Structure 1
């Protein structure tokens, strides 16, 4: 059974390194990455790497806490909180896995916390 922990650790490592090889290692060649539901996805590993690097965060700028809601061989649903120095987001990630543990489809929902 695919376990999301190793993949998410790799995602956080890539998030902090912005290393193209770290990013590419997470995804299948034909993966799709939805930055929000119903948006046009980034298509293919090369596009995912390029788009990611075009939106990169500074290393160590954010923290990510998470826990799995549902884990199967093919899909993990993860709930998380991303905290930046000036803002916080709630996240819901759908991670569709290939048999080798790489992601074939990623969809994220995010919502900024109210700052009242």
Structure 2
């Protein structure tokens, strides 16, 4: 994918599909958004999850530790085959019901077919809090 007039719409559709997979608690739908050899980095340290099966396994584990997630995504910033988007979520521990927040940024590099080939996720968490984004932030 290269920067064209349609690129922000294409990236926004990809983000909407990620959000739909998250809401549906469907790790396979999320993994289908990635190339077969995609790398998925969660934070700057540690080895990436590589390939669709690893992305699905990561999301399976992630979803097992949360319930009733509410999420917001900002408008993507697109340049060439890369995009960045801010996000925010409120979710709950399935065992205790305790709330927690997370907010961060995704950076993505896309393959020509529109699937994500490289995904970097940076975020900060606020355990024990149930905060929606401030007015004007991702709304």
Interval of TM-score (by shorter of Structure 1 and Structure 2): 0.7 to 0.9
Change (3 A) 1:59 1:88: closer
User: Does residue 13 of the first structure (1) align with residue 26 of the second (2)?
Assistant: no
Q: Flag structure 2 segments of 5+ consecutive residues without an equivalent.
A: 93-98, 130-139
What are the superposed Cα offsets for residues 15-62 of structure 1, whole Å, 9 maximum, x if unpaired? 122334412321000001011122211011111112211221588611
Larger deviation, residues 61-70 vs 42-51? 61-70
Distance 1:73 1:64 in 2: 26
Q: Which structure has the larger Rg?
A: 2
User: Does residue 98 of the first structure (1) align with residue 111 of the second (2)?
Assistant: yes
Distance 2:71 2:91 in 1: 9
TM-score normalised by structure 2 residue count: 0.71
Distance 1:21 1:96 in 2: 20
Root-mean-square deviation over aligned CA pairs: 2.2
Distance 2:102 2:64 in 1: 14
TM-score normalised by structure 1 residue count: 0.84
- Runs of 4+ in structure 1 deviating by more than 4 angstroms, as ranges, are 57-60
Match among 46, 54, 57 for residue 61 of structure 2: 54
